[in-house]
A and B are shown apart, each in its own frame.
Chain A
Amino acid sequence: MAMNYNAKDEVDGGPQCPPGGPAKNRRPDNTAFKQQRLPAWQPILTAGTVLPTFFIIGLIFIPIGIGIFVTSNNIREIEIDYTGTDPSSPCNKCLSPNATPCYCTINFTLEQSFEGNVFMYYGLSNFYQNHRRYVKSRDDSQLNGDSSALLNPSKECEPYRRNEDKPIAPCGAIANSMFNDTLELFLVGNESYPTPIPLKKKGIAWWTDKNVKFRNPSGGESLKERFKGTTKPVNWVKPVYMLDSEPDNNGFINEDFIVWMRTAALPTFRKLYRLIERKSDLHPTLPAGRYYLNITYNYPVHSFDGRKRMILSTISWMGGKNPFLGIAYIAIGSISFLLGVVLLVINHKYRNSSNTADITI
């Protein structure tokens, strides 16, 4: 069309508008966002900016690593394996017991005294609490006290769901395989008879587990009535409402039970068993000396090459004895410092050639 031909329209890229019509402009907005002209910070990772960071990391990490390492070294820990596979071990007779329950005693000596609160753990090896079928074999609503789930546990608990035509409470493989050894600790003192060490069984499970996640079913007066219509898990000796005589540690809210139900991450694990509280006077909680451990050996691990042990440990703010964290901090700190020095040398040597910024074609 010869009329109204305007080269400027072509440049603008808009469509030819008919003469006299409204101009339809498809041009995008000229805002900073749409034209990608937003103000921005443009950092560049050069040697100059990174060098101080390396030195700072080195200077911060190494003392932290030393501090953590020293803290970890001050933690006392002792492990007593009582599986009894070795024929010379006192617990060997319990591998194929003549009479249940089997009792055995292990003597051990503490070289150094344990100060502060001492924590007693039981440890298992080669026990895969993290197997997928095992981990999902539980019913959290039943354990929360839901009455419908109590009598009708979830299908995940199969095959530990019903027994003798009654629902199992608590259902599932995790509950069924609960650890049931009893450990008692005695100090062989100067007197002829040994003193038992008082073991506290409260405070071993997470507070939220005991008070929120695990609840006994509501109902009648006694716990036995509330669990009416259910039966105990297959491998248990006593039903769940007879786990402890104290009412606030009985039933589902028994702390040993709760600790067992928190499945461990790795096949070698330990779980908190008892607390030994510090004494109010200045004596150490566990003085150095000879002790013996009385074990009621109920839990069979020999068939799958598992091992059982008892661990006594003190605890710091960072938990148990863990040299790894301290060593790792020291290692990373020193590597960082070293690389900072290397970078400084390289930067100095190449200072001249790296600063010219012409580009060769």
Chain B
Amino acid sequence: TLCMAYKHLTSKEYEEIDRRLFEARTALQQREEKLAHVFQFIEKDLILLGATAVEDRLQDRVRETIEALRMAGIKVWVLTGDKHETAVSVSLSCGHFHRTMNILELVNQKSDGECAEQLRQLARRIKEDHVIQHGLVVDGTSLSLALREHEKLFMEVCRNCSAVLCCRMAPLQKAKVIRLIKISPEKPITLAVGDGANDVSMIQEAHVGIGIMGKEGRQAARNSDYAIARFKFLSKLLFVHGHFYYIRIATLVQYFFYKNVCFITPQFLYQFYCLFSQQTLYDSVYLTLYNICFTSLPILIYSLLEQHIDPHVLQSKPTLYRDISKNRQLSIKTFLYWTILGFSHAFIFFFGSYFLIGKDISLLGNGQMFGNWTFGTLVFTVMVITVTVKMALETHFWTWINHLVTWGSIIFYFIFSLFYGGILWPFLGSQNMYFVFIQLLSSGSAWFAIILMVVTCLFLDIVKKVFDRQLHPTNTEKAQLTET
């Protein structure tokens, strides 16, 4: 804000002013004080014309975005370099502070003791009043005092406030605040949004830095992890894209561990029956191609295309974001579920095949016997089919590509095996797998066993999913139901 004023000067007064200014400007010592003295002499008896103000308009839909962030369970802090009054009024107008909130202040603290006393008082006020929501305003100097000695107390106060506003922040202080939050006991994930060059250190310090390409240039955008054009795009970025990516990556990681547990555990179990001599259950070509050729495409396409809920629903219901908070899908509980599932499937594959063969009875209609490679191929076939169909069970969004890679992987496995065992390859040293797969497929018992084992494995999983959805549906699952 500026105020405009004027006064008339006679030429004599002007010459006086000119002379004094010249002296002050060319003084060799104490130039600053002399200049200030002269300006004070000049700026007297002015007539006020008016005041100017510059309004920095809020971008559109900022209010809705902040409201959505709050509904998603994300704590919003505003860190600004503006002064106290400006910051508070901007906060109120953009929905960061409600009119019904009780605003606590930690400003203009001059000494350490004063700051500590004020903090304790704020903590007491928060404890007394549970019903109303609290907001906190801190300014730069008080913040540095608080951070120097009373970090814990300060964080305690902050944690209980639903909105925090830090004004008069220097750029490095913004980064310091983010650092403080990052190392606080709950270790929350921080995201920093900024549009100016003074936000760069904050953007780089936070876990996720987002720069808004704005009128203040491209510095923030250049230094950020993600750049968006308007603040309102943050809601789609987080609630749609962020949510999708999280679900995709979490499932990718869990599925990868699961399918490798399924893969290796039968090998391990076989050792108990071959004197621990490290005889492989599966042929070495199968060992090599399992992860690359037979089971890689379905999960790849899943992690590129999966949309477990329609994007419009996600954007209109920010509370769905809470379903993935605290890294829920990669927590110990979920990991244990996938791993135990993998182990139980592997046990079913191996022991199902083991009891089927039993005392090594014949499984062919002509009484001839299978060997160890046929046994291993049986386990492997059941495994490839089961892990692929498990992926199919996890997929909610079936495009034509998903169909192609899922069923195509199984068909490719069959075609490859037929091809591989179909002829005597001249460059291979040992012809262990010659005709093994075709012999396996010509046994009626083997087919029945494959179907039985695949159904048994996935049966448990389907039962668990359906019971969970029936008895304790999560918000996400309820949302999935509404749109159909």
Residues of chain A touching chain B, judged by Cβ–Cβ distance below 8 Å, are 10-13, 36, 38-47, 50, 57, 61, 64, 68, 117, 119, 121, 123, 128-133, 135-136, 138, 140-141, 144, 154, 156, 203-206, 208-209, 212-213, 259, 262-272, 275, 313, 315-322, 324-325, 328-329, 332, 335-336, 339, 343, 346-347, 350, 354, 357-361
Query: What class of interface size applies to chain B in its complex with A?
Result: 35 or more
**B424 neighbours in A (Cβ, 8 Å):** 144, 212-213
Q: Say yes or no: A206 contacts B368, CB within 8 Å.
A: yes
Residues of B contacting A350 in the complex (Cβ-Cβ under 8 angstroms) = 470-471
A208 and B434 contact, CB distance less than 8 A: yes
Q: Find residues 320-367 in chain B having any chain A CB closer than 8 Å to their own CB.
A: 320, 352, 354-367
B455 close to A265 (CB less than 8 A): no
Q: Give complex CA distance A343, B465 in Å.
A: 12
Q: List 5 A-B contacts (CB under 8 A).
A: A130-B372, A206-B368, A318-B444, A324-B356, A354-B470
B448 touches A318 (CB 8 A): yes
B91 to chain A, nearest CB (A): 22
B141 close to A (CB within 8 Å)? no
For chain B residues 422-466, which have a beta carbon within 8 Å of chain A? 424, 429-432, 434-435, 439, 443-445, 448-449, 452, 455-456, 459, 462-463, 465-466
Q: Would A318 and B275 count as touching, CB distance under 8 A?
A: no
Q: B215, B398, B444, B481: which contacts A357 (Cβ < 8 A)?
A: B481
Docked Cα-Cα span, A70 to B39, in Å, equals: 113
For A316, the closest partner residue in chain B by CB is B365
Residues of chain A with a CB closer than 8 A to B444's CB: 317-319
Chain A contacts for B279, CB-based, 8 A: 130-132, 135
The proximity string for B residues 107-120 relative to A, scoring 1 for CB distances below 8 Å and 0 otherwise, is 00000000000000
Is B480's beta carbon under 8 Å from chain A? yes
- State whether A57 and B455 are in contact (beta carbons under 8 Å apart), knowing that A11-B230, A117-B367 are contacts in the complex: yes
A293 to B69 CA separation, bound complex (whole angstroms): 85
B374 contacts A265, CB within 8 Å?
Answer: yes
- Please tell me if the beta carbons of B320 and A359 are within 8 angstroms of each other in the complex: yes
Find out whether the CB atom of A270 lies under 8 angstroms from the CB atom of B448. Answer: no
Residues in chain A near residue B429, CB distance under 8 A: 140-141, 154, 156
Distance (whole angstroms) from the CB of A315 to the closest CB of chain B:
5
Give the chain B neighbours of A68 by CB distance below 8 A: 448
- The closest CB in chain A to the CB of B273 belongs to A266
Judged by a CB distance under 8 angstroms, whether B401 is at the interface is yes
List which B22-67 residues lie within 8 A (CB) of chain A.
none
Contact, CB under 8 Å: B430 / A136: yes
A-B contact count (CB 8 A): 232
B372 near A135 (CB under 8 angstroms)? yes
- When the two chains form their complex, are residues B361 and A204 in contact, meaning their CB atoms are under 8 A apart? no
Q: Shortest Cβ distance from B53 into chain A, in angstroms? A: 22
Residues of A within 8 A of B398 (CB): 40-43
CA distance A272 to B307 in the complex (A): 55
Which residue of the partner chain B has the closest CB to A41? B398
- State whether the Cβ of B213 lies closer than 8 Å to any Cβ in chain A: yes
- A320 with B229: CB separation less than 8 A: no
Q: A38-B399, A47-B470, A138-B430 are in contact. Are A13 and B362 (CB under 8 A)?
A: no
**Which of B227, B358, B362 is close to A272, meaning CB atoms less than 8 Å apart?**
B362
CB of B369 within 8 A of CB of A264, answer yes
Residue ID in chain A nearest B400 by CB atoms:
A38
- Whether the Cβ atoms of B317 and A359 lie closer than 8 Å is yes
Distance (whole angstroms) from the CB of B66 to the closest CB of chain A:
16
Interface string of B390-429 (1 = CB under 8 A from A): 0001001111111000000000000000000000100001
In the complex, what distance in Å separates the CA atom of A319 from the CA atom of B214? Answer: 76
Among candidates A123, A130, A213, residue contacting B274 with C-beta atoms closer than 8 Å = A130
Given contacts A128-B275, A132-B274, contact A265 B370 (CB under 8 A): yes
| Alpha-carbon separation in the docked complex, A246 to B325 (Å) | 77
Which residues does chain B contribute within 8 Å of A315, judged by CB atoms? 362, 365-367
B274 CB to nearest A CB, Å: 4
